[in-house]
Amino acid sequence: MHRYIVSRLLLVIPTLVGAAVLVFILMRLIPGDICLVRLGSGGTSFSAQALAACHAEIGIDRPWLLQFWNFIWDLARGDLGISMWSGKPVVQEIATRFPVSLEVATMATIIAITIAIPLGTISALKQNTWIDLVVRTFSIAGIATPAFWLGILSILFVLDLSQAITGHPWMPSIDYVPIWKDPIRNLSIVMLPAITVGYRYAAVSMRMTRSAMLEVLREDYIRTARAKGLLEKIVINRHALKNALLPVVTVIGIEFAFLIGGLVVTEQVFNLNGIGRLMVLSVQNQDYTMTQALVMLVVTLAVLSNLVVDLFYAWLDPRIRLR
């Protein structure tokens, strides 16, 4: 097992380095110049010296190789640098936006789990009945519905509903407050995005639960459990569900890591100031340091969740380690 962990950990390094190379090159291939935008944004004219000074200040006049070395070296020391656009430390910029994305992703996951596991299980147990048909339709629809459209519709619904009840339309506030400071206001901001994202997420996990459950229910040990006269409840909960949930947990874990970086559209619809929109902004502003830091953050999260899943599997199934 130790050898497996070490070899698996070593495989993480090329992925991280590869992602660093990719984002570094991609950003520099994008035409444009952050200094032109920064200097010209006030509408004033500027001299060539000012432009050169700006280039020197943020270090983009240096050769690519040196810039890349600095990026990797700083990264290795845990220094994400200063945002080329705002001049503030990247860590600080990310820290103000990360909580919103993290909270939406976490709540969406909770919603997904509470919907997906019971419905997926019921669907498998009542296979090919009308219940199964309804659940499957619900889940296929969830995969087919664009999250941003659902977001627009839910805003519309809330507006109309509040108009009908109180007489004036209500919209959740835009400024994020942590849940421990003002839980009601926090939930009013986060709830709708979490539901719209959670529905799709639930749909994916529901299908996974159903097919995993169907597979497990055909196993011999389930027949044995039933044959020895166990209560159906115990057979399902203790023998079937426990084994069926393994692939479901995998899907949830991996989706969660991707979710944090993939909330862009939802954040756009609900006007949330999260990581996703920061990514779009930083690419559009040609803020190399910020984009590089964000990409490395998202890639690290994805790689780590994959690693955890792999190690977990290897721990459960010794055959994987020996391959």
Partner 1 sequence: MTDIAPTPAGAAVFTDDTYVAPRGVWSAVKRFVVRQPVGMIGIVIVALFGIAGLTADWIAPYNPTSNDFSAMTEAPSWAHWLGTDQLGRDILSRILFGARTAFIVGLTSAIVGGFSGLVVGVGSAYFGGRIDLFLQRILDIVMAFPLIIMALAVVSIFGTGVQNVIIAITIPLIPRCARVVRSSALAIREIPYVDAARALGYSHSRIILNHMVPNVVAPFLIMLTSFVGQAILAEASLSYLGLGVQEPVAAWGLMLQGGAEEYASTAPWIAIFPGLAIMLTVFGINLFGDALRDVLDPKMRER
**Would you count residue 268 as binding partner 1 (CB under 8 A)?**
yes
**Window of 108-116, 139-147, 190-198, 226-234 that interacts with partner 1 by CB under 8 A:** 139-147
**36 lies in the binding site for partner 1 (CB under 8 A):** no
- Give the integer Cα–Cα distance in Å for 24 and 295: 10
302 binds partner 1 (CB under 8 A): yes
**Residue 148 in contact with partner 1, rule: CB under 8 A:** yes
What six digits make up the tokens of 270? 């609900």
Size of the site for partner 1 (CB under 8 A): 51
10 residue type, one letter: L
Measured from the CB of residue 22, what is the shortest distance to partner 1 in angstroms? 6
Rule CB under 8 A: say whether 14 interacts with partner 1.
yes
Minimum distance of partner 1 from residue 178's CB (angstroms)? 25
Q: Which of 1, 52, 95, 153 binds partner 1 (CB under 8 A)?
A: 153
> Does the footprint of partner 1 cover residue 269 (CB under 8 A)?
yes
> How far is the C-alpha of 97 from the C-alpha of 264, rounded, in Å?
12
Q: Does 18 bind partner 1 (CB under 8 A)?
A: yes
Residue 11 near partner 1 by CB under 8 A: yes
Is residue 243 part of the contact set for partner 1 (CB under 8 A)?
Answer: no
Near partner 1 by CB under 8 A: residue from 56, 141, 161, 174: 141
Q: With respect to partner 1, which residue has the nearer C-beta, 31 or 63?
A: 31
Contacts (CB under 8 A) with partner 1, residues 157-186: 159-160, 163, 169
Q: How far is the CB of 18 from partner 1 (least distance, A)?
A: 4
Nearest CB to partner 1, comparing residues 179 and 301: 301
Residues near 144 by beta carbon (within 8 Å), at least 6 away in sequence: none
Beta carbon of residue 46, minimum distance to partner 1 (angstroms, whole number): 24
Quote the CA–CA distance of 102 and 194 in Å, as a whole number.
Answer: 11
- What is the footprint of partner 1 within residues 182-211 (CB under 8 A)? none
Whole-number minimum distance, CB 189 to partner 1, in Å? Answer: 17
With contact defined as beta carbons under 8 Å apart, do 196 and 151 qualify? yes
Q: Does 155 bind partner 1 (CB under 8 A)?
A: yes
CA distances from 272 to 198, 203, 244, 280, 301 (A): 16, 24, 36, 13, 21
Binding site for partner 1 (CB under 8 A): 11, 14-15, 18-19, 22-23, 26-27, 29-32, 127, 136, 140-141, 143-146, 148-149, 152-153, 155-156, 159-160, 163, 169, 214, 261-262, 264-265, 268-269, 276, 279-280, 283-284, 291, 294-295, 298-299, 302-303, 306
